[in-house]
Amino acid sequence: MPVVDYEQYKTMLDTAYKSKYAYPAFNVSSVETANAVLEGLAEAESDGIIQVSTGGGEFASGTYIKSSAVGAMTLAQHVHLVADKYNVFVALHTDHCKASKLESFVMPLIEETEKRRARGESNLFNSHMFDGSDIPLGKNIEIATDLIKRCAKNQIILEVEAGVVGGEEDGENNTNVANEKLYSTPEDMLRFYEALGNIPNADYMLAATFGNVHGVYKPGNVKLRPKVLRDGQVALQAKYGDGARFLFVFHGGSGSAKEDIAETLGYGVVKMNVDTDTQYAFTKPIVDHMFKNYDSVLKIDGEVGNKKYYDPRSYLKAAETGMAKRVIEACNDLNSTGKTLCK
């Protein structure tokens, strides 16, 4: 099926919330990694989300152009072209974008969607993330409010962040963030609801933090408190009734304990980001290939090597397969396996 439309995407998220499962969202930076996600989702019979970060987009545009927006457009076009060959739904999303990069990353992508819609075509991306975690909460919400109004006009879902995700990703280093900022408060979550919840036709997801970190750490080094999400939902419903809800996003899913993942599903997590684990799953087969075929991939001691082994296709196929297997594991962890809505 093609990349989902707005109503299909909303149905995906609503179904996940009601049925207490979540969609894995995988960062991609190349055609090969995008193909790996699609392959894994299809094997798992799970719908899912393919997302591009500023760094991933810049890489995909090439070392000469180095444009995050151009690279993101390139990857999105590829997914649009090949997705209808698969038997699952997939949504396209952009990951963390700070206020300082909105004009160079998210806004050109929204403009491209506006051009596509004017031609009667589908949206380029289904959703975008604005990460205002590095600015005061009031300014974060102010920018998010302006941005979601434009998104609403174009049937784009916005993801916003309350709190700070620790660790390091794409050059953003939050390893020394004060501990209390790693845990969102119910009050902060309510401020987002009250600012964004009444904007006509606007839809959003909330990345509330509960000790999340980017990257993978040894067991015991990351202190997740999933009940932070529960407390947010309880505070929301106590003030606005049982029909009120947050659609939560779990950032830093790589390396998280399966019991923590399972607990968050009961508190309204509908999307979990996975990047570090899939990077490793993609790279490991390449390392294996190089070690096992050292004499063939290099021209050493006057020899000519073996084209069969240094042809990039030989090891990128293995890398794609390795990453696809990790995609399936994520689907299993989030209980999305076998639940595709693509019928």
- Please say if the pLDDT value at position 222 is more than 70: no
Range 229-246 average pLDDT: 97
- Please say if the pLDDT value at position 174 is more than 50: no
Range 223-248 average pLDDT: 96
Tokens of 26: 């995988």
Confidence of residue 315 (pLDDT cuts 50, 70, 90): very high
Beta pairing class for 204-208 and 213-214? unpaired
Residue 172: the pLDDT is 54
Partner residues linked to 274 by β-bridges: 26
Residues 261-281 pLDDT 10s: 999 999 999 999 999 999 999
Residue 177: the pLDDT is 46
Residue 212: the pLDDT is 79
Q: What is the CATH number assigned to the segment(s) 6-333?
A: 3.20.20.70
- Please say if the pLDDT value at position 176 is more than 50: no
Catalytic residues: 95
Across the chain, mean pLDDT equals 92
If one compares 211 and 18, the residue with the highest pLDDT of the two is 18
For the chain, domain boundaries: 6-333
- Please say if the pLDDT value at position 162 is more than 60: yes
- Please say if the pLDDT value at position 175 is more than 50: no
Range 148-174 average pLDDT: 78
Confidence of residue 167 (pLDDT cuts 50, 70, 90): very low
Confidence of residue 170 (pLDDT cuts 50, 70, 90): low
